[in-house]
Amino acid sequence: MWGYLRYVERPAIKTYLLLLLLFALGLMAKPMLVTLPFVLLLLDYWPLGRLQIGPLSRETDTGKRSPVLGLVWEKIPLFVLSTASCVVTFLAQKNGGAVATLDYITPGARIGNSLVSYERYIGKMLWPQHLAFFYPRPSVLPGWQTAGVQLLLLSISSLIIRTFKGKPYLSVGWLWYLGTLVPVIGLVQVEAPSNGRSLHLCSPHRPICHDCLGCSRIYGKKGLHADRFFRSSSLGNYGTFCNYLDTGRVLD
């Protein structure tokens, strides 16, 4: 993230190569980072203000907006690295016999489990206790549970869409959450089922508040006050405290 902010501040081949290097190292450490190029597009919209989809507030309008295709083209090398990481990870797991076939886990079961996982991750975000390295996939999901989760996700999405113009950070945070979970949500059964180790990447409040601090440093926007940053950071500290309370259970 900081590498990208540096590139936005000082666009040059040197800063872009630094971004590519950091991204490659991150993928080798944690392949879940494959969604980073999409996250950067979200940050281009808010808080960087490089991309406009509808009107933005004066606080986030930097006057340096770029066409959508231009911003996507700018991230083509990042998408190439993400694609390569996905292919390598999938082939490695498949050769090791860790990829479940469609006959073993049907598409309907995968989609239902993915929807329920989104709801469970929200609960873990609000109260991150009883975390584990992986959560076994339930053999049967009641129809009412899947339907209830669909209603919950649609309700949250509809409420956020209504605030799209006035409060873009809500849309960015929600799309961040939905998007970054895709690699581990269970649509492709690779390695273990969904796990608590990925929670810190898909929880939008901690990374976004740090990015806001960096953007305020770059653009000096009035809407990115330090007090807002510290209020956001307090959410991250709350999660860290809950994780500390649960450390003994995870290690056991």
Q: How far apart are CA 191 and CA 176, in angstroms?
A: 23
Q: What is the pLDDT of residues 132-170, one digit of tens each?
A: 766 677 777 788 888 999 999 999 999 998 988 888 889
Domain of 24?
2-251
Q: What is the pLDDT of residues 171-181, one digit of tens each?
A: 999 999 999 98
The pTM (predicted TM-score) of the whole model is: 0.76
Which position has the higher pLDDT, 26 or 124? 26
The mean per-residue pLDDT over the stretch 65-80 comes to 88
Q: Which residues touch 242 (CB under 8 Å, ≥6 apart)?
A: 127, 128, 129
**What is the average pLDDT value for the chain, to the nearest integer?**
76
Q: What is the pLDDT of residues 172-229, one digit of tens each?
A: 999 999 999 888 887 776 544 555 555 555 555 444 444 444 454 444 444 444 444 4
Total domain count for the chain? Answer: 1
